[in-house]
């Protein structure tokens, strides 16, 4: 299963990341204290203390105390429809920014409309834009019959404005499809700053920087949550932006798909979902993947 997800994401991986580990406790709590308490959780083997916790309640009240986080994933309501659950949540961004580790960052899902509507909030929270990914789906949504069919969503990475990008954890994503060639380069384009002369050679099938447009199938027809994101996409974000055994905070957990990605990647996970029924379903979903199968994946 893990190899299939990685192949879908086009990522390189180290096989021993997937060796069998101890059962990870999954909890669903209505308070700010995870259950079971940290001192009663299972101590895993290769990755140290790996804990999976799901809280039920308002992320603004529960999540700050569970940090600091090496990575925060946020899929807040976009506020683009009249559906009852699609209402923008105010006030969470400053709390998330303050809950990051010095090397931590924040990936936020959204549409261009939602980011334009909340741009001031990111500046007020003193967050700086790092990069964006376009998630291309195999099919899309038709909100208007007189406009292009939207088959993409945006995922934007931010980090604290007080930090340097060089200090933010970032595992460069690559794909194994480079072509053999020799590149001789003396300088960067003027607007990016000068560098020393360099020559490098790439090999057929060697690593190449991953594209900023990433194609993943959505989960329509089998999703637990109406806006559920595919696990391979979340797995990509977790691996490039959270160190091994790091802590991921999922502030709008929904179906718990990010928890599945963290389980596969060997990262600690704390999620929060405000809907009690959805939190229960997310908890049950995470429980089905514990423990991980013994041995190396085929």
Ramachandran bin of 221, using left for φ above 0, alpha for ψ from -120 to 50, beta for the remaining angles: left
Return d(Cα 105, Cα 99) in angstroms, integer: 10
The pLDDT of residue 190 is: 60
Is 30 in contact with 275 (CB distance < 8 Å)?
no
Return d(Cα 19, Cα 293) in angstroms, integer: 9
Is the overall model pTM greater than 0.95, yes or no? Answer: no
In order of their start, the domains of the chain are 2-173+210-288 (3.40.50.150), 174-209 (no CATH)
The pLDDT of residue 18 is: 27
3-state class (DSSP) for residue 134: strand
- Render pLDDT for 213-238 as a digit per residue (tens, 0 to 9): 999 888 766 766 667 889 999 999 99
Look at residue 101 and tell me whether its pLDDT is greater than 90.
yes
The pLDDT of residue 20 is: 28
Ramachandran bin of 24, using left for φ above 0, alpha for ψ from -120 to 50, beta for the remaining angles: beta
């Amino acid at each position: 299963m893990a190899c299939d997800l990685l192949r879908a994401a086009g990522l390189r991986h180290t096989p021993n990341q997937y060796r069998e580990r101890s059962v990870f406790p999954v909890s669903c709590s209505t308070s700010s204290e995870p259950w079971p308490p940290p001192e009663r959780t299972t101590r895993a083997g290769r990755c140290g203390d790996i804990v999976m916790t799901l809280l039920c309640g308002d992320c603004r009240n529960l999540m700050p105390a569970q940090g600091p986080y090496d990575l925060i994933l946020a899929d807040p309501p976009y506020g683009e429809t009249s559906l009852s659950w699609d209402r923008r949540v105010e006030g969470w961004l400053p709390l998330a920014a303050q809950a990051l580790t010095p090397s931590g960052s924040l990936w936020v899902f959204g549409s261009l409309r939602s980011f334009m509507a909340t741009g001031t909030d990111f500046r007020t929270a003193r967050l700086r834009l790092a990069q964006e990914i376009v998630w291309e789906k195999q099919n899309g949504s038709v909100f208007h019959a007189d406009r292009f069919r939207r088959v993409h969503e945006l995922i934007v990475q931010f980090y604290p404005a007080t930090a340097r990008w060089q200090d933010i954890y970032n595992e460069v994503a690559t794909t194994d499809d480079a072509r053999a060639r020799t590149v001789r380069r003396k300088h960067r384009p003027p607007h990016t700053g000068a560098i020393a002369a360099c020559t490098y050679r790439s090999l057929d099938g060697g690593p190449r920087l991953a594209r900023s447009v990433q194609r993943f199938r959505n989960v329509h027809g089998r999703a637990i949550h109406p806006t559920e994101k595919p696990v391979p996409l979340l797995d990509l974000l977790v691996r490039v932006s959270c160190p091994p055994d790091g802590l991921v905070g999922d502030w709008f957990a929904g179906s718990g798909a990010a928890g599945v990605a963290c389980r596969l990647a060997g990262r600690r996970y704390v999620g929060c979902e405000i809907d009690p029924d959805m939190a229960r379903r997310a908890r049950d979903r995470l429980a089905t993947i514990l423990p991980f199968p013994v041995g190396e994946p085929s």
